[in-house]
Structure 1
Amino acid sequence: MTPGDLIDGDTFYVMFVTSTTHPGNLATAADYDAAVNAAAQSSGFYGTDDSSLTGQWRAFIGHDDGTNRADVVGGAAPIYRIDGTRLANNRADLLDNTIAATVSVTQQGGAPGSVFVWTGMNATGATSYGLGAIDQSRYGQSNFTDTTWLDGGGITPNGQNYHVYAVSPLLRVGAPAAAAQVTPVPVMSPWGAAALVAALAGVVGWRRRSATRS
């Protein structure tokens, strides 16, 4: 899932739209989190089933249990589609009424076209007609790059089955390889060198005397 325009140490987020659909009246945000994690784990595409991400994907929704998953995207990190296409440069760019490309790619790499997506958010990412117990919830459409991607401009009965956007935790491009460790070569002091020379001279002299006696 590493985008090609990043370098070692850069951070980023990844988003996809689930290939599966779910009703808009699930009881808690955690229910939607479970749904997007099940989708991610069902596919090996671009490493979405990486064990290090197990259980860490979040549904990009606003829920009437008080949870707003727009908060999981923070800071200056860019956001990418799962095929490496950049959607936005940072959180502010993601929620400024336009994105650079549609989010219409599933965890399997498929292109579902124009599908309805439960969001429970308005275009700024604030919970509006959130998912859950209320009768109607807000939705977006996956093949738009204007505000419609998140806020389709209306509400609809939440008993219907729509897709869900998923967002990864903050990811980091692999750290640079550690610098090679150089083992210093021992350096002998002048006194040690002199002692070694004297010792070697003594050994040579002893051998010569031994050879003369024999």
Structure 2
Amino acid sequence: MKLQLGIVSAGVALATLGTSAAQAAFVVVPTDLAPGDQYRLVFVTAGTRDAQSLNIDDYNTFVTNQATGGTPGIDTALDTALNGAGFDLSTITWKAIGSTSAVDARDNTGTNPSSTGVPIYLIDGNRVANNNADLWDGSLQHPINRNNLDEISSHNRIWTGSNETGQRTNLSGYAAYLGSDSTLGVRTGDRSLTDSGWIARSSSLFFSSWGLYAMSSVLTVPVQPEPVTVPEPSSLLGYITLGGLMLGGAVRKARK
């Protein structure tokens, strides 16, 4: 009986360890930043959709639901990790790295090289780019290959509708922007690449089903509260003993 209990206990311990390891894979606060530093997070969606809409808000809503669990069946692990790190989830927004006929990806995400921007990280702690210009210079520091479940994406092709500089593509001999029904198709990127192919690799007809890249609003590393000082066990015992003696003395005086 004791042996059986020991086996069960060991199994529970291993299961707990496995769960902790899976949850610990999220690194929503990069380890090379200090409290007060600003940055962004990026991932590729686990879910897929078509590229038939010309409205960028449809794609922004899609990636937001992927990040927050707003879509039935989508895990809320990313939101849980952010909340556990001390972020107010109501202040975080998510945008698609995609271009339509009306807006460029770099403007939709607020990463236009005309402004410096902040470092951009994958949700496992790897740095993707140092700033806005670095994001659009044709070379990433790390591929955007992990999804909102913190898994390597199962699909390589990603809807972008963009060229390598994050701008909408035209219809003159090139795959086009999101929502275009061009016979050349809509521009797609490859999540396994770090050269310009990450965003401008090939094309696909707009009724196909692929994922999108999602980028967070600017985040600030939380400032951790000062730790509460707790007396050492030996000191605590001394305080209790002293308190007991004082109380006992007061009681004896009251009886006289």
Structure 1 residue corresponding to 2:45, chosen from 18, 23, 27? 18
Counterpart of 1:68 in structure 2 is 104
Deviation at 1:51, TM superposition (A): 5.7
Matched, 1:44 2:77: yes
Counterpart of 2:196 in structure 1 is 147
The TM-score normalised by the length of structure 2 is 0.64
Counterpart residue type for residue 57 of structure 1? W
Deviation at 1:124, TM superposition (A): 0.9
- With over 3 angstroms needed to count, the CA separation of the structure-2 counterparts of 1:140 and 1:5, relative to structure 1, is same
Q: Is the 8 A contact 1:37 1:54 kept in 2?
A: no
Q: Is the 8 A contact 1:24 1:158 kept in 2?
A: yes
Identical aligned residues as a percent: 28
Q: Is the 8 A contact 1:138 1:156 kept in 2?
A: yes
Q: Is the 8 A contact 1:68 1:127 kept in 2?
A: yes
Q: Is the 8 A contact 1:25 1:133 kept in 2?
A: yes
Equivalent residue of 2:210, what SS? Answer: strand
Structure 2 residue corresponding to 1:162, chosen from 210, 228, 233? 210
Alignment gaps of 5+ in structure 1: 179-214
Counterpart residue type for residue 47 of structure 1? L
Equivalent residue of 2:62, what SS? Answer: helix
- With over 3 angstroms needed to count, the CA separation of the structure-2 counterparts of 1:36 and 1:51, relative to structure 1, is farther
CA distance in 1, matches of 2:68, 2:33: 25
Counterpart residue type for residue 167 of structure 1? M
Matched, 1:97 2:138: yes
Q: Which has the higher strand share?
A: 1
Deviation at 1:159, TM superposition (A): 1.1
The TM-score normalised by the length of structure 1 is 0.76
Counterpart of 2:232 in structure 1 is none
CA distance in 2, matches of 1:104, 1:67: 24
Q: Is the 8 A contact 1:113 1:143 kept in 2?
A: no
Counterpart of 1:59 in structure 2 is 96
Deviation at 1:176, TM superposition (A): 6.7
Matched, 1:131 2:164: no
**What count of residue pairs does the alignment treat as equivalent?**
176
- With over 3 angstroms needed to count, the CA separation of the structure-2 counterparts of 1:41 and 1:7, relative to structure 1, is same
Counterpart residue type for residue 67 of structure 1? V
Alignment gaps of 5+ in structure 2: 1-27, 70-75, 170-175, 227-256
